[in-house]
Amino acid sequence: MNEEDKKKYSENKKRYFEKAENIKTQDIDFTTISSESVNPLYAPDDIHDLDYNADLGFPGEYPYTRGVYPNMYRGRFWTMRQFAGFGSAGDTNGRYHYLLDHGQTGLSVAFDMPTIMGYDSDHERSLGEVGKCGVAIDSLRDMEILFDEIDLSKITTSMTINAPASILLSFYLAAGEKKGIGFHEMGGTIQNDILKEYIAQKSWIFPPEPSMRIITDVLEFCTRNVPKWNTISISGYHIREAGSTAAQELAFTLADGFAYVEAGIKAGLDVDDFAPRLSFFFNAHLDFFEEIAKYRAARIIWAKRMKEKYGAKKNKSLLLRFHTQTAGCSLTAQQPENNIVRTAFQGLSAVLGGTQSLHTNSMDETLALPSEKAVRIALRTQQIIAHETGVVNTIDPLAGSYFIEAKTREMKEKAEDYFQKIDRFGGVIKAIEKGFFQKEISKAAYEYQKLVESRKKIIVGLNKFAMENEEIDIPILKINPEVEKNQREAIAGVREERDNDKVKRELERLRKAAENTDNLVPVILDCARCYCTEGEIISELKEIFGEYQEPIFL
């Protein structure tokens, strides 16, 4: 702007704000869903010091604010990956074929609680839980059934599994191997993010130290043997679902990411060998622009730290690639069809934020696991975003928006403040032990609940526009009540058929490896190949590593 334009701009702005201030404003809450205040208007001077080259750059170029690939969705769309699993491996295999037949482009496995917690289906702690909130997988046998008639060299699979990630990965690799597919041909993701388990999702088995060892063993093994595998999916999703704000989700997730990088370096790995296979997983909540700013801020923070602090040299080490899932906690059991609309807006924010992969929630998820109809609509929602809205035509279309750029910077600054706080605790694990994250999250969750109950925050159909005596008339998925019994019988069959002498020898080898510092993954893989069950492998490891005791914070 020349002097005359600047003068004109200042005058116009002054006049505008004087006028705007005197106009009646509605008495409603104008903060974001995270209770952050936003201005009624953003203008050029809100981003006057934005440096295009340093703060934005071009897509696929440092610092990757505008996206990790040069051509983004013109190259290919995000992977449409619906998280699915229920009942037996056979039931879930049927759902996978259904989703693939309807145009899904990647698979994502939801395991049941016993599988997540390392118990076989016939363990007493599994009673009532088998196949309920995901699929029951006890051994390689179940994994073979789960991927029956699916070409594991053509599709990528994400597995939401953490404490026992090394075991389920081994089952998967062994299942592929039996189909004649080499490890180097298989691509996918294991969540393998134990830090956020202690922080938010609470599905842990071992204490932090051995857990971090298993994770670095996986990093090392996959770097050498399964080069297309994403070894950790560093997850903010569960942090947000547990009640955090957007800034907390961003900060805690990236802090976890840096902790894994430091653990890998400490284990003697070269950062450029493992960092390219780290990926991220964020939530897409309802506050549209706050979410988009969050994704953009995440990319720039990661790229800068990886380069400047951890000395990464390869460009691929700097890329924050991420999967997104729409916010389950934003959905209502009341008027559940409205959830389709919420999910569509959330999915759109993820796409405008440059996601690599997306799960859109089904409308019925506050009631049960998704029915076929509900999941089909959820998948169609993504397909409509991709094929009908036109948002894929232009890369990072919101860049340069005064609001989006100001908000991106603000998210980044808030995250940096949290990093300093975490550093003062002595790092992520120390902060977990002190309950820092847990308390921050439950405080935010409770504050939000109070805002909803006092109707400062509106949820349509719940605390406004509610319907009296509402009848829910959408189909609900029912889990086969026989699944637990069938699974117990199946596991007994596996134990009878396999070579039990070999099983004993391999489990003995595993115990020795755990006592020493050998990489555990090749040994677990051998256990998988001879049909050791997940519970047997975990039991051996528990004896050496012990179990995590939760510090209780309200």
Nearer to another protein, 113 or 351 (CB): 113
Tokens of 113: 């609680």
> Residue 517 contacts by C-beta under 8 Å, 6 or more apart in sequence?
none
Closest approach, Cβ 40 to another protein, in A, equals 31
Using CA atoms, how far apart are residues 176 and 318, in angstroms rounded to an integer?
A: 30
Closest approach, Cβ 337 to another protein, in A, equals 15
Nearer to another protein, 368 or 544 (CB): 368
Using CA atoms, how far apart are residues 354 and 74, in angstroms rounded to an integer?
A: 12
Please give the full DSSP string across 72-129, using - where no structure is assigned.
Answer: HHHH-PPEEEEEE--BSHHHHHHHHHHHHHTT--EEEEPBPHHHHHT--TTSGGGTTT
Please give the full DSSP string across 379-398, using - where no structure is assigned.
Answer: HHHHHHHHHTS-TTSSSSTT
Check: CB of residue 104 under 8 Å from CB of residue 379: yes
Nearer to another protein, 114 or 236 (CB): 114
Give strand pairing partners of 82: 107
Nearer to another protein, 119 or 302 (CB): 119
Closest approach, Cβ 436 to another protein, in A, equals 15
Closest approach, Cβ 91 to another protein, in A, equals 14
Nearer to another protein, 47 or 444 (CB): 444
Closest approach, Cβ 173 to another protein, in A, equals 26
Closest approach, Cβ 236 to another protein, in A, equals 15
Point out which residues bind another protein (CB under 8 A). Answer: 113-114, 116-117, 119, 125-129, 132-133, 197, 201-203, 241-243, 329, 332-334, 366-369, 442, 445-446, 449, 453, 459, 462-463, 472, 476, 479, 550, 552, 554
Nearer to another protein, 52 or 446 (CB): 446
Closest approach, Cβ 440 to another protein, in A, equals 12
Closest approach, Cβ 302 to another protein, in A, equals 27
436-453 helix and 402-425 helix, angle to the nearest 10 degrees: 140
Tokens of 471: 């009848």
DSSP label of 461: T
H-run or E-run covering 325: strand 322-326
DSSP label of 335: S
Cα→Cα distances 498→26, 418, 491, Å: 70, 51, 11
Nearer to another protein, 396 or 536 (CB): 536
Nearer to another protein, 5 or 124 (CB): 124
Nearer to another protein, 271 or 444 (CB): 444
Burial classification of residue 468, based on how many CB atoms lie within 10 Å of its CB (0-12 exposed, 13-18 middle, 19 or more buried): exposed
- The total number of residues shown for the chain amounts to 554
Q: Residue 283 phi/psi, 5° resolution?
A: -90, 150
Closest approach, Cβ 459 to another protein, in A, equals 8
Nearer to another protein, 111 or 147 (CB): 111
Sheet holding 322-326, edge to edge: 229-230, 188-190, 157-159, 106-109, 79-84, 357-359, 322-326, 278-284, 232-235
Closest approach, Cβ 295 to another protein, in A, equals 23
Check: CB of residue 320 under 8 Å from CB of residue 85: no
